[in-house]
Amino acid sequence: MLEIKDPSLTLGGRELLSPHHSFIVYEGEILCVTGGEGSGKTTLLRVLMGLQPLDRGFVNTDGDLLDERSAPYLRREMGYVPQYLDLPDETVEQLIEEYLYMQVNASHRLNQDHVLAQWRAMGIDKAYYQKRVKDVPRGMLQWIMISLIAVTKKKYVLVDEWDASLNRQLVMMALRQMADNGAAVVVVSNDGTIYSGCQKHVALSEWR
């Protein structure tokens, strides 16, 4: 369970979050966050990860209060796909190995075979494994990150707006499968197809 309760956050003199943006996402549920440009969608995800403190209110994960002390520990259970990726100049293979052998993921004992099996299920060409990160389209990098979150079975999944090149139906199928496997999922999108596929919704501002 991922909860934000009575939040209040003002940045640059503008109120981005207020108590009516409170919500709870339970295991097996997908919540869609909508809003116009600059409405605070990415900021909300940062709040849920403990990277942006609230002025008032709190974030709770299964009864554990997320604060500056607990956030690093609780983020181990979170998978995050940003809208824009600033990744190092290395190969996809190196990036994946670093991800799998991080202390937080080491207990899963995963290797390349597990990742490639997930890629086959998601239609990702294994040729990307040897490509340099800078040569992989942004949408595909996001799709690869979703595959890593899926294979490591993160408890909380946060997905910012993704590149228009990605197939919405495939993305929703992947997120739905993660939710069915017990994840609480929060996805940012103004796409009506995505919106209609989510059980819960939070609007940060009016959208068309």
Contact between residue 183 and residue 174 where contact means Cβ atoms under 8 Å apart: no
User: The whole model's pTM is what?
Assistant: 0.92
Residues 81, 85, 91, 96: what is their CA dihedral angle, to the nearest 10 degrees?
-20
Q: How far apart are CA 34 and CA 99, in angstroms?
A: 30
Residue that has been written with the tokens 């103004």 in this structure: 190
DSSP character string of 78-105: EEEE-SS----SSBHHHHHHHHHTSHHH
pLDDT at 208: 37
Q: Rounded to an integer, what distance in angstroms lies between the CA atom of residue 11 and that of residue 17?
A: 10
Per-residue pLDDT in tens (0 to 9) along the chain, 208 residues: 999 999 999 998 889 999 999 999 999 999 999 999 889 999 999 999 999 999 999 999 998 999 888 988 888 899 999 998 877 778 999 989 888 877 666 666 788 899 999 999 999 999 999 999 989 999 999 999 999 999 999 999 999 998 989 898 899 999 999 999 999 999 999 998 889 999 999 999 754 3
pLDDT of residue 73: 87
Question: How far is 140 from 16, CA to CA, in rounded Å?
Answer: 30
Domains and CATH numbers, the chain: 2-203 (3.40.50.300)
How many residues are there in the chain?
A: 208
Contact call for residues 48 and 188 (beta carbons, < 8 A): no
Among 132, 131, 130, 162, which residue's Cα sits nearest to residue 145? 162
* Whether 31 contacts 23, CB under 8 Å: yes
Could you list the beta-strand ranges (E) of the chain: 2-11, 14-17, 23-25, 30-34, 56-61, 64-66, 78-81, 156-159, 184-188, 200-203
Q: How high is the pLDDT of residue 104?
A: 63
Lookup: tokens for 169: 């139906």
Q: How far is CA 52 from CA 7, 58, 70, 85, 151, in A?
A: 12, 11, 14, 18, 27
**DSSP 3-state of 156:** strand
Tell me the β-bridge partners of 186.
31, 158
pLDDT on residue 207: 42
